[in-house]
Structure 1
Amino acid sequence: MRVSSSNADESRQPKANSGWVSRERALVVTLALATALAFYVCYRLAYPFLPALAWALALAVVAHPFHEWIERRLRHPNLAAGLAVIVVAVVLIAPAVFVVRHMAEEAATRAETIKTEIDKGTWRARIEGDSRIASVVKFVERQVNLKREIQELSSKVGDRLSSLVSGSIWALAQLFITLFALFFFFRDRRAVLRALRSLVPLSDSETDEVFARVSDTVYATVYGTLTVAMVQGALGGLMFWWLGLPGPVLWGTVMAIVATVPVLGAFIVWLPAAGYFALSGSWGKAVILTAWGTIVIGLIDNLLYPVLVGNKLRLHTLPIFIALVGGIALFGTSGLILGPLALVLTLALVDVWRRRTAGGQTAETVQLHRHENPKRSKQSERI
């Protein structure tokens, strides 16, 4: 009887263990779902502020050497971070206010001029005075109602730019959040990096590599893409002003914007302007603008970009193009940072998994490696 009783207890033990495992698995699944839901809610809460946070991160990476220089001299984290934020704000806001104000004035003036000339019919008299331009316009008019399209376009552009210039509370709020987040990125940089290291399931070397690639991407985007684009826009705007074209600040800004997108470039702005000069008979101006755009503006990308970026961003043009355009479509102007950042982060994680698969590493091996190598790389602390 004792034997049979012990056998019965043993037969019941697996069932008890099975029930415990089922409850444990249910708890794990519940915890995972709750964590995923919490992350989603936090993402939705932070989504409106992603542009501000993205630019704050970019500024923190780019201005880190300056902040570190101030911090070494003041030896007061709050004061050093506050002073660095003030300097960054002055450097960014002053030129932005100047450019936006001039863009608004020029856009409003040009829109009003176009509407006035269309209403009075003076634009047709000018066109009919040149047979070459008149033939092109007549062909276009046969395809579309040119007068109506120009009126609608000028009205929309004028209204939207006027409302943009008048300023939006949301834009000011985003600027405040950017500077507010930048302060904490400066002051708590090391604590943030330590927290990220404790959360990511990567070894120290893998974490260092991911941090380094993220930092390099921000450097390449800000120092490379944006700086080169601004230089190209400034050079194009100066040439537009020297040749007497209307709206040099406006068109220079447009050139800077399109120059950030691979494959497009500033030529889609200055090339039609050169064509306009050629059609109107100003062959000298057409040649000057074409030479300036091809030799000076065009070569800036090939000469200045490698100097600023070097080999920090070694990616093919196609994925970068998709990342930039997709990022802008999804996040707006902050997509210039978030698009390439998402691409590089994804590729870095894919490389990690590829090496782990090839080397037969497991999660336990990685955690053991983390405990055996507690040293932190200083390279990743550039963020």
Structure 2
Amino acid sequence: MTAPSAHEPVVHAAAPRREAGWFTRARTSALVLMVVTVLALYLCWKMTEPFVPALAWALTLSILGARVHQRLSERWGRPSLGAGLVTAVLCVLVVAPLVAFAPVAMDSVRDGWDSLRSESVRSRVQALVRNQPALAPAVEWVSRQAPSGEELAKQLAPRVSGFLTGSVWACIQLLVTFFALFYLLRDREQALVYLRSVLPLTTPETNRMFKRVSEVVRASVLGTLLVAAVQGLLGGLMFWWLGLPAPLFWGSVMFLLSILPLLGAAVVWVPAALFLLLEGHWEKALVLTAWGSIVVALIDNLLYPILVGDRLRLHTLAVFVAIVGGLVAFGAPGVVIGPLVLAVTAAIVEIWHDRTRSGRAADAAPPG
């Protein structure tokens, strides 16, 4: 090898170029991507937000019909046909009662409310006040607060009648519900595979999350709503048999109150029993008390564990807050969304607890 001549330039190896400051090209690109991602997710949420109730009910119905769809798909080998059949059956089971009984229910509630303000009820109340003068201030306050039947109908019509009797938006919500239900049933396995791929959880943790969601939805719908319906029906029948006013109205109230833990139908039948006792009808008060405390309460203690068991695995107070908060935030679908959010949160906390117990780091996920 020959040494370089004195006239040839000496070439030194170029040092790697260093970018000054924190905002390097890679970091700037990552920040821009994060901002665009957040913006895209926000816009997707704004587009989806109006249909959250419909999608919540679609998810609920899809979980309830998943087993039937799976059996039909295995027998026929055609998931689309099975999804269409299950969707059609659930559509009939949900829509037909609403269309058939919504006008009747509205008229019955209005008539029942008017019967509470009728002359016969007023005379009974006046007789009670004469026998029990201490009740006069409370009765006077209730009479001032209670609206008339027409006023009650006007207040309920925009919310209940508008949804149940075929407003344009209610029809759109129903169409979205069953449209989404079909695809949630047909593409359920693909959706679960995709969620497993994007969730930052191991396979056992993801399976635990999905199982918890399914259990809570089944418990919330099949357990809470069915038990509340039976309690409302039994309470309304007893009101009718004892000759108490507006049995259908009070049965509906007992159904709604029975959905909420810690409340229940006793909020209605206990004051009614006291009213009968103060009137002097102690035998009717005794029958109503026995019916409410034994029969209606027995339905809750027997039927609810059969339908729910230990699948909900949430404290009663936590469920109460979730249901009430869900109703306030999401309306009627909050009965499902509230406990669902609570269950997912509880599952996430359990996953964090399992990952960090025994001094392990949070990112040291269990194998799987």
TM band (smaller chain): 0.7 to 0.9
Matched-pair contact (CA < 8 Å) for 2:113–2:249: no
Distance change in 2, residues 1:82/1:247 (3 Å): farther
Letter in 2 for 1:149: Q
Identity %: 42
Query: C-alpha separation between the residues in 2 aligned to 1:141 and 1:20?
Result: 73
With a CA cutoff of 8 Å and minimum separation of 6, indicate the structure with the bigger relative contact order.
Answer: 1
Unaligned runs of 5+ in 1: 374-383
Cα offsets for 1:17-36 (capped at 9, x unmatched): x5797111111111112111
SS at 1:362 equivalent = coil
1:268 aligns with 2:267: yes
Matched-pair contact (CA < 8 Å) for 2:115–2:246: no
Query: C-alpha separation between the residues in 1 aligned to 2:112 and 2:246?
Result: 8
Corresponding position of 2:161: 165
Corresponding position of 2:126: 128
Matched-pair contact (CA < 8 Å) for 1:108–1:161: no
Distance change in 2, residues 1:233/1:205 (3 Å): same
1:210 aligns with 2:183: no
Pick which of 90-99 and 259-268 moved more.
90-99
Aligned pair partner of 1:71 in 73, 83, 89: 73
Query: C-alpha separation between the residues in 2 aligned to 1:189 and 1:179?
Result: 15
Query: C-alpha separation between the residues in 2 aligned to 1:124 and 1:245?
Result: 13
Cα offsets for 1:170-215 (capped at 9, x unmatched): 2222222111111111111111111111111111111111111111
Shift of 1:218: 0.9
Query: C-alpha separation between the residues in 1 aligned to 2:295 and 2:81?
Result: 43
Query: C-alpha separation between the residues in 2 aligned to 1:256 and 1:228?
Result: 9
Distance change in 2, residues 1:212/1:326 (3 Å): same
Query: C-alpha separation between the residues in 1 aligned to 2:182 and 2:348?
Result: 29
Query: C-alpha separation between the residues in 2 aligned to 1:112 and 1:67?
Result: 46
Corresponding position of 1:44: 46
How many residues align? The count is 355
Aligned pair partner of 1:138 in 127, 136, 139: 136
Matched-pair contact (CA < 8 Å) for 1:328–1:336: yes
1:174 aligns with 2:173: yes
| 1:292-331 paired onto structure 2 within 5 Å | 292-331=291-330
Unaligned runs of 5+ in 2: 1-7
Length-normalised TM-score, structure 1 = 0.83
Query: C-alpha separation between the residues in 1 aligned to 2:202 and 2:18?
Result: 39
Cα offsets for 1:127-173 (capped at 9, x unmatched): 4344556625532367x4x55433x4544312233553362332222
Corresponding position of 2:31: 29
Pick which of 72-81 and 26-35 moved more.
72-81
Corresponding position of 2:103: 101
Corresponding position of 2:363: 362
Matched-pair contact (CA < 8 Å) for 1:111–1:158: no
Corresponding position of 1:15: 18
Distance change in 2, residues 1:243/1:96 (3 Å): farther
SS at 2:216 equivalent = helix
Pick which of 103-112 and 263-272 moved more.
103-112
Shift of 1:296: 1.0
Question: Which has the larger helix fraction?
Answer: 1
Distance change in 2, residues 1:126/1:342 (3 Å): closer
For the aligned residue pairs, the C-alpha RMSD in angstroms reads: 2.8
Corresponding position of 1:85: 87
Query: C-alpha separation between the residues in 2 aligned to 1:186 and 1:353?
Result: 31
Distance change in 2, residues 1:94/1:287 (3 Å): farther
Corresponding position of 1:380: none
